[in-house]
């Protein structure tokens, strides 16, 4: 017994001829259908190229369009020729002009001899399929589709809608159990003969001529009526991308294709010279008796579709510029922390946190004069400049780039009312941000400064107003960032517990003792300072309820390391 090939070709006929010649010269008869719309000269050229093979036939040419019944009709014609002219054929394999055999012809023949009674055809009930174009599955069988999906999409969609609305449904003829699957099958002579000679065939053909994309359902459904032994998978490796167009193979897929152990692959780029050379050359083939294993290929294709549909989180670039909902929910590549008031309260907060967590801790990235990168760097990862003007030109791009460029290394930075505020809204709306705020902490450097008190009062009033707006934004229901707010008074009450929770937030694994703590600023007389502000007519409410007299233990830096559990 041998295997016969039906080949449906419509362009790049020279390549189709090459593959047909390969099969024909390996004792596999080939019946070719060439689309009537193909160039006549190309067709003549193909006929001439195959003239020396007496086991090649051409089916009458029909004009074929995407998703039209003519493709099924052409297949049926070719199948009839195959069964009549080549009685030695046991299996008939449906292929296209852009298919390429990956394993030697005799291996396929052997494989099919071992499975003499098996029909290889992907045939899935309409309830099970998830890959259908346009989301239509069972409705392919029960609605009318007079408008072209490719050319008149809107009419197509509206007409489907209309039929749904009025509850229209076509009757499915007896004996047809709607199934769908890949167009490329390999059927036994027995099953194919039964389909061709079915007494109801005229009725079926009439019915299927109005089903949408019948090449994916005609044989897939009828095989359920006639076959006793269906293996629901295609021997041809072919995958579709998110647009529903087949992925194409190029020369650089050689290794992937070799490792797939599939018998036939589709679709091959017609100029992939090395693939055609390699796979149509018997000497180069290694005989392997294994089952096809397209898992690796599938993974590659799945990743590609994922990249096209979902893309990389936190990336804004020339061909990915998310807006609307996607941008609202997913702005940056990964988590980062914002500290407000900490470096004002602790003289060595940044170096301490950097050492303690092993992550990158910047100063005030949004400082009005220049970007304060960690270690005072002039340029940072990805060549981000410390120029404040460049940063302020597009602060969002600056921060998105910073997080993207650091490849998941946790970034922290200081922020406060003296900084450029434009980024505030972005921070609040980014779910990757964790924001720790000690309100009123900006007053500590003022408290230590020797400025004229009137000036201090004015600055304090301004900072407090800016901070209040910012905190209000952080507390709005639209905020996606994780936000922790303490007043200065609350914070100095129990700074170590708070620092511990901050550390756990950055690196939960490192929950060990706080063996080394940063130096708290001297707050001796801070209560009086607050009172003085009040006396001057300003109410520093953001500081919280700070006692007039010094609290015990505050005001001098903790000398002894102590643990917080």
Partner 1 sequence: MRDENEVEVEQGFRVLSLIERYRLRLERKRKQLRFVRKSRELRRVVNRTSDIRAGDVLLFSVLRNERIRLPYFLEYYRNLGINHFLMVDNDSDDDSRKYLGEQPDVSLWHTTHSYKQSRFGVDWLNALQYRYGTGHWNLVVDVDEFLVYPFCDSRPLRALTDWLDASGVRSFGAMLLDMYPKGPIDEKEYKEGQNPFEIAEYFDAGNYMISRNPKYRNLWIQGGVRARVFFPNDPRKAPALNKIPLVKWRRGNVYVSSTHTLLPRGLNLVYDESGGEKTSGCLLHAKFLHTLRAKSEEELKRRQHYGNSREYRAYKQVLEKSPDLWCPESEKYINWRQLEILGLMSKGNWV
Residues at the interface with partner 1 (CB under 8 A)? 66, 133, 150, 241-245, 247-248, 250-253, 269, 271, 300-301, 304-305, 307-312, 315-324, 326, 330, 378-385, 387, 389-390, 393-394, 397-398, 401, 404-405
Which residues are CB-neighbours of 380 under 8 A, at least 6 positions away?
371, 373, 374, 386, 402, 405
Q: Tell the smallest beta-carbon distance from residue 384 to partner 1 (Å).
A: 5
Q: Max CA-CA distance within the chain?
A: 109
Least distance to partner 1 from the beta carbon of 28, Å? 29
* Minimum CB–partner distance for residue 327 and partner 1 (Å): 8
Q: Which of 484, 489, 361, 469 is CA-nearest to residue 425?
A: 469
Per-residue burial over 381-410, b if 16 or more Cβ lie within 10 Å, else e, is: beebebebeebeeebbebbbbbbbebeeeb
CA distance 394 to 502: 29
396 or 536, CB closer to partner 1?
A: 396
Give the separation between CA 113 and CA 3, rounded to whole angstroms: 9
CB 3 within 8 A of CB 23: no
Nearer to partner 1, 304 or 538 (CB): 304
The residue among 135 and 537 lying less far from partner 1, judged by its C-beta, is 135
Least separation in angstroms between residue 400's CB and partner 1 is: 9
How buried is 362 (Cβ within 10 angstroms: 0-12 exposed, 13-18 middle, 19+ buried)? buried
Instruction: For the CB of residue 152, give the shortest distance to partner 1 in the complex, in Å.
Output: 12
Tell me the closest approach of the beta carbon of residue 523 to partner 1, in angstroms.
39
For residue 97, the minimal CB distance to partner 1 (Å) is 15
**366/398 with CB nearer partner 1:** 398
Please give the structure tokens belonging to residue 358. 């092993």
**Chain position carrying tokens 């707006």:** 469
Assigned token pair, 29: 């008869």
Which among 107, 78, 68, 98 has a CA at the least distance from the CA of 4? Answer: 78
Nearer residue to partner 1 within complex by CB, 250 or 562: 250
Decide whether 242 or 562 has the Cβ nearer to partner 1.
242
What's the min distance (Å) between Cβ of 448 and partner 1? 33
Q: Is 544 left (phi over 0), alpha (psi -120 to 50) or beta?
A: left
Tokens standing for residue 468: 């209040």
Q: How far is the CB of 215 from partner 1 (least distance, A)?
A: 14
CA distances, 475 to each of 299, 384, 471 (Å): 43, 31, 6
Which is nearest to 422 in space by CA: 454, 459, 466?
A: 466
Q: Quick one: how far is CA 328 from the chain centroid?
A: 18
Judged by beta carbon, residue 304 or residue 461, the one nearer partner 1 is: 304
Q: Which two three-digit tokens encode residue 19? A: 């593959």
Nearer to partner 1, 21 or 384 (CB): 384
Q: What's the min distance (Å) between Cβ of 308 and partner 1? A: 3
CB of 424 to partner 1, least distance (A): 19
Nearer to partner 1, 272 or 488 (CB): 272
Nearest in space to 398 (alpha carbons), one of 417, 379, 416? 379
CB nearer to partner 1: pick between 129 and 551: 129
The answer to whether residues 314 and 136 touch, using CB atoms and an 8 Å cutoff, is no
Q: Of 177 and 381, which CB lies nearer to partner 1 in the complex structure? A: 381
Smallest gap from residue 5 Cβ to partner 1 (A): 24
Does residue 430 contact residue 402 with C-beta atoms inside 8 Å? no
CA distances from 277 to 14, 18, 271 (A): 14, 10, 11
- Tell me which residue of 241, 239, 187 sits closest to 218, measured CA to CA: 187
By beta-carbon proximity to partner 1, the closer residue of 37 and 320 is: 320
Can you read off the two tokens belonging to residue 360?
């990158």
Q: Where does residue 286 rank: exposed (0-12), middle (13-18), buried (19+ CB within 10 A)?
A: exposed
Write down the least CB distance from residue 243 to partner 1, Å.
5
Which phi-psi region, left, alpha or beta, contains residue 197 (left: φ > 0; alpha: ψ -120 to 50)? alpha
Residues 6+ apart with CB under 8 A from 465: none
Q: What's the half-sphere exposure (Cβ side, CA atoms, 13 Å) at 277?
A: 6
Point out which residues pair with 483 in neighbouring strands. Answer: 435
Nearer to partner 1, 236 or 330 (CB): 330
């Amino acid at each position: 017994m041998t295997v016969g090939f039906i080949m449906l070709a419509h362009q790049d006929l020279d390549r189709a001829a090459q593959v047909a010649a390969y099969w024909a010269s390996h004792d596999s008869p080939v019946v070719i259908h060439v689309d009537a719309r193909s160039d006549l000269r190309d067709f003549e050229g193909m006929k001439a190229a195959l003239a020396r093979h007496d086991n090649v036939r051409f089916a009458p040419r029909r004009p074929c369009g995407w998703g039209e019944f003519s493709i099924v009709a052409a297949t049926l014609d070719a199948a009839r020729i195959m069964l009549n002219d080549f009685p030695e054929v046991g299996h008939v394999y449906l292929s296209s002009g852009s298919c390429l055999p990956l394993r030697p012809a005799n291996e396929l023949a052997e494989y099919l001899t071992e499975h003499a009674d098996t029909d290889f055809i992907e045939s899935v009930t309409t309830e099970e399929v998830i890959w259908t174009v346009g989301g239509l599955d069972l409705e392919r069988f029960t609605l009318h589709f007079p408008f072209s999906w490719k050319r008149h999409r809107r009419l197509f969609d509206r007409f489907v809608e209309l039929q749904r609305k009025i509850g229209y449904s076509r009757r499915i003829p007896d004996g047809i159990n709607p199934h769908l699957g890949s167009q490329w099958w390999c059927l036994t002579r027995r099953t194919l003969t039964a389909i061709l000679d079915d007494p109801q065939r005229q009725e079926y053909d009439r019915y299927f001529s109005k089903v949408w994309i019948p090449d994916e359902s005609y044989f897939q459904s009828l095989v359920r009526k006639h076959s006793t032994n269906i293996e629901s998978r295609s021997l041809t490796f072919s995958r579709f991308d998110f647009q529903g167009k087949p992925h194409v193979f190029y020369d650089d897929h050689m290794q992937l294709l070799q490792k797939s152990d599939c018998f036939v692959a589709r679709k091959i780029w017609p100029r992939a010279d090395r693939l055609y050379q390699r796979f149509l050359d018997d000497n180069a083939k290694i005989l392997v008796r294994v089952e096809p294993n397209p898992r690796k290929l599938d993974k590659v294709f799945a990743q590609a579709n994922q990249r096209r549909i979902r893309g990389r989180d936190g990336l804004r670039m020339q061909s990915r510029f998310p807006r609307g909902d996607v941008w609202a929910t997913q702005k940056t590549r990964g988590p980062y922390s914002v500290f407000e008031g900490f470096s004002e309260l602790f003289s060595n907060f940044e170096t301490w946190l950097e050492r303690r967590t092993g992550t990158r801790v910047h100063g005030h990235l949004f400082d009005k004069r220049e970007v304060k990168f960690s270690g005072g760097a002039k340029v940072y990862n990805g060549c981000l400049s410390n120029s404040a003007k460049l940063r302020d030109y597009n602060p969002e791009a600056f921060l998105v780039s910073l997080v993207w460029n650091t490849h998941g290394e946790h970034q922290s930075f200081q922020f406060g009312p003296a900084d450029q505020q434009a980024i505030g809204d972005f921070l609040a709306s980014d779910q990757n941000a964790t924001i720790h705020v000690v309100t009123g902490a900006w007053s500590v450097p003022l408290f230590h400064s020797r400025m004229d008190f009137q000036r201090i009062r004015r600055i304090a009033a301004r900072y407090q107003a800016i901070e209040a707006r910012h905190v209000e934004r952080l507390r709005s229901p639209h905020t996606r960032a994780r936000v922790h707010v303490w007043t200065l008074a609350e914070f100095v009450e129990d700074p170590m517990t708070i620092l511990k929770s901050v550390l756990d937030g950055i690196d939960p694994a490192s929950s060990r003792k706080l063996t080394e703590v940063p130096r708290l600023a001297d707050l001796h007389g801070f209560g009086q300072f607050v009172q003085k502000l009040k006396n001057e007519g300003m109410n520093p409410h953001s500081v919280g309820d700070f006692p007039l007299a010094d609290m015990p233990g505050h005001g001098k830096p903790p000398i002894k390391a102590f643990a917080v559990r």
